[in-house]
Amino acid sequence: MAGRRSSIFAVYLLIHLCILALLWAHAQPGQSRARPDLELKRQMVGSLGLTDLCLFTEARYTRHPAMADSNAPFQDHPMSFDHFPSGSIVTVPEHLRYESGKP
């Protein structure tokens, strides 16, 4: 009964599951393929002493969130709001949030 709707639906689901399996299969060698690039980045981080990913270059506290200080987003004056869009994406690093609890 090839014309039955349930069969068409089953085939549709099967195709989607096959695509998903293919994507899963694509992700697995993708990781080993990317290994040399990751190693290159890791070496660069080690040799240059880098601390952050280069994701948001618009402000120093979003370019290097790990190195930022608590007052960086309000750098212009005490009542200044954070005006860089990426400031709303990057959260405050954990070590700044719990700085008072640090040794």
Partner 1 sequence: MTFIQKQRNILDVALCSLLRRKGKNLSLVVAYVFVIFLLSSVMFITDALKREASFVLKDTPEMVVQRLVAGRHELVPTAYAKVIGKIKGVQSVSARLWGYYYDATNGANYTLIVHQDLITSPGSIMVGRGVARHLSAGENGTIPFKACDGSYLFLEIRSVLPSESELVSADLVLMSELDFRRLFQMPEGYATDLVLRVRNVRELSTIAAKVVQLLPDTRPVSRDEILRTYDAVFSWRSGLVIVIFAGALCAFLILAWDKATGLSAEEKREIGLLKAVGWETSDVLLMKFWEGMAVSLVSFLTGIILAYLHIFFTSASLFEPALKGWSVLYPDFRLTPFIDGQHAATLFFLTVVPYTAATIVPSWRTATMDPDSVMRS
List residues binding partner 1 (CB under 8 A): 4-6, 9, 12-13, 16-17, 19-20, 23-24, 26-27, 30-31, 34, 36-38, 40-46, 48-60, 62-67, 69-72, 75, 84-86, 88-95, 99, 102-103
Q: Which of 33, 53, 20, 81 is nearest to 62 (CA)?
A: 53
The distance of closest approach from Cβ of residue 79 to partner 1 in the complex, given in angstroms and rounded to an integer, is: 15
Alpha carbons 97 and 90: distance in angstroms, whole number: 13
Q: List helix spans (H) across 2-103.
A: 5-33, 35-48, 60-63, 94-97
Residue among 79 and 103 whose Cβ is closer to partner 1: 103
